[in-house]
Structure 1
Amino acid sequence: MFDIPNPLIYAVDDDPDDCVLLQQVFSSRHSDCQLRCLDDGSQLLIWLTHRLDGRLPDLILLDLHMPVLNGFDVLRLLKQDDVFSRIPIVVISSSDHDNDLKRCEELGGVAFITKSGSYRQLAKLLDDLRYQLLD
């Protein structure tokens, strides 16, 4: 389905339940994707900097409100880097504040998804997102 063979996607979220939900969606609907869940922004920077998967991800799904390094700071840092700035970043957050959406757009996020906790809704949003960003 993707033009990229076996796309690598990093999901950065401190909530293990959200990562489990993402893993369920990807394993059932997008099994050709490799999904790696990371706990926070600082862990993401380590994986990116050291290329621990042997390559950069094709997409980053990023939560906003995390300990250590939040999503806003991650967006700002990645978009300032010549290499990392090419990776599309989609913010997936429980926040529904217009200011958060606007700030994410200003910092270079390509999309903003409000978490619902619903498998069906998340699956639909990720299906749409996949075809928009990675096909």
Structure 2
Amino acid sequence: MGSNNRHLSTKPFRILIADDDAEDIEFARTSFEENNLPVEVNDVEDGQLLMDHLRKKAKEQNLQALPQLIIMDINMPRKDGFEALKEIKEDNDFCRIPVVVLSTSSSSKDIEKAYELGANCYVTKPKTATDWARTMGDLGRFWIQCATWSI
């Protein structure tokens, strides 16, 4: 089992955001910057593009280039977050990548389903820029500095 220790690394922590709302992606990206978190953020606009991105990295045998954290919405076109989450957690190359579901839904049914499918965390999308900065800062610090896991 590997240790995270990302806060000791000089390389940025790799985050992949899957969300069809460009404004929410920008809120997240800006929030990481405002919190001075050493991250490299890539984004895709739906679950199909998310899976394509992961498979491309795996096919290139570049597993070190896989994201260290996936943040995804559940309501996306083509392939929704639940479908993508299920595929990620069933794939031996991707199943250990932590997945945070970030959704406007606070429905207990959606939250329960996300955890049943293997989400590591479920966060309701913040409503204001201040809340975005606080939430993404807390989330980033947790996964970069506190959590220990192995990909």
Percentage of pairs with the same residue: 29
Matched, 1:21 2:21: no
Does the 8 Å CA contact 2:32/2:140 hold for their aligned counterparts? Answer: no
Following superposition, the deviation at residue 31 of structure 1 comes to: 4.5
Any gaps of 5 or more consecutive residues in structure 1?
none
Q: Please give the per-residue CA displacement for 1:76-113, whole angstroms capped at 9, x wherever unaligned.
A: 00000111001000000000100100111111111111
Matched, 1:109 2:109: no
Following superposition, the deviation at residue 63 of structure 1 comes to: 0.2
Structure 2 match to 1:99:
109
Following superposition, the deviation at residue 24 of structure 1 comes to: 1.1
Letter in 2 for 1:118: T
Following superposition, the deviation at residue 23 of structure 1 comes to: 1.6
Following superposition, the deviation at residue 125 of structure 1 comes to: 1.8
Following superposition, the deviation at residue 32 of structure 1 comes to: 1.6
Change (3 A) 1:28 1:127: closer
In the comparison of the two structures, how many residue pairs are matched?
134
Any gaps of 5 or more consecutive residues in structure 2?
1-5, 146-151
- Between the aligned partners of 2:133 and 2:122, the Cα distance in structure 1 is 15
Q: RMSD over aligned Cα, in angstroms?
A: 1.7
- Between the aligned partners of 1:42 and 1:3, the Cα distance in structure 2 is 33
Structure 1 match to 2:81:
71
TM (norm. structure 2) is 0.82
- Between the aligned partners of 1:25 and 1:124, the Cα distance in structure 2 is 8
Letter in 1 for 2:119: G
Matched, 1:2 2:15: no
- State the structure with more CA Rg: 2
TM (norm. structure 1) is 0.91
Q: Please give the per-residue CA displacement for 1:37-86, whole angstroms capped at 9, x wherever unaligned.
A: 1100111111111118x510000000000010000001100000111001
Structure 2 match to 1:47:
53
Following superposition, the deviation at residue 3 of structure 1 comes to: 4.3
